[in-house]
Structure 1
Amino acid sequence: MALAQIRQYPDPVLRMRANEIESFDDDLRRLVERMTTLMQEARGVGLAGTQVGTLQRLFVFQPTEEDEPRAVVNPVLVSASEVTLSETEGCLSLQGVTIPVERPVKVTVEGKDETGADIRIELEEHAARVAQHELDHLDGILILDRTTPEARREALGILRPEPVLGAIS
């Protein structure tokens, strides 16, 4: 049921840039709770505001089951390692698609938590990948835009299969 509440490609909101959040109020905290629940029910590791149809600049993430879920409001990527790694990524908004994406292995993200307190997070490997993936969503960028042309064509075939033409018996 959670996936039914997550916007699916080619929904136009997935290509929009999210706006900065100015009010750190109960509405924001409820949104963070709702997004965290949806992410967990869908068995995802991250979820951006645009994926639930809100153009608010925030994401929630929980890279592993052992990690506590966290929200990052108005996130900014302040540094990224020169060392990159290509690994397979999936996306709750691109059901059935897994494609290789090259990303820096270490990043630093600054922003605020849902109460408005400043946060700075240094992330490595899988957690860094998840944060970059969610940051991309907030700028209207999908993994389809970060992969090879061949992988993109294959993914689009999964998302929009070609009609099968042939004789009907």
Structure 2
Amino acid sequence: MMAPVPRLSIEDRMRVVVLHEEGYSCNKIAQKLNIARSTAQQIVKKHQETGTVKDREGRGRKKITTKREERVIIKEALRDRRKTSKSLANELRDNFNINVSDRTVRRRLLQSGLKYCRAKKKPLLTEYYKEEETAMGKRTLARIGAKLFLVMRVDFALSVTGQYQ
């Protein structure tokens, strides 16, 4: 199977039309511009029918989503940045009746300038760090308790002496 040939530029298509208007045959035009004879014929035919050599509107596959649906996809993705595209597609299907695949969700986010990537896996806390976290919590509670005891003691002393009313 041969690789696809890139489309001719607008300038090259115009050259084909100009050469045809000068009286060159499609065979001569194809040889001169190093293109296929059928390409030259198609360009000449298109120019005669439409008056232009530009591509027709609406070429290619149509999008499955509307502009409104694309805005909803983006809004929902920004609401919770940690959601996967699969869960986002399911949520869109359930809540908004937008039936799209997870791949379409990723495509729409990329087109809008958002990079959709998987959250980085973080290591679980080891036993050492769990113990450190618990000990730190206990120290903090002890420090708060000591301050609270001191405040209560001063408050009690002031109320006993009658200075605090």
| TM-score > 0.5 by shorter chain | no
* Greater relative contact order, per chain length (Cα 8 Å cut-off, separation 6+): 1
TM-score tier after normalising by the smaller chain length: under 0.3
More helix by share: 2
Highest Rg: 1 or 2?
Answer: 2
Query: Given the two structures, how large is their TM-score scaled by the length of structure 2?
Result: 0.24
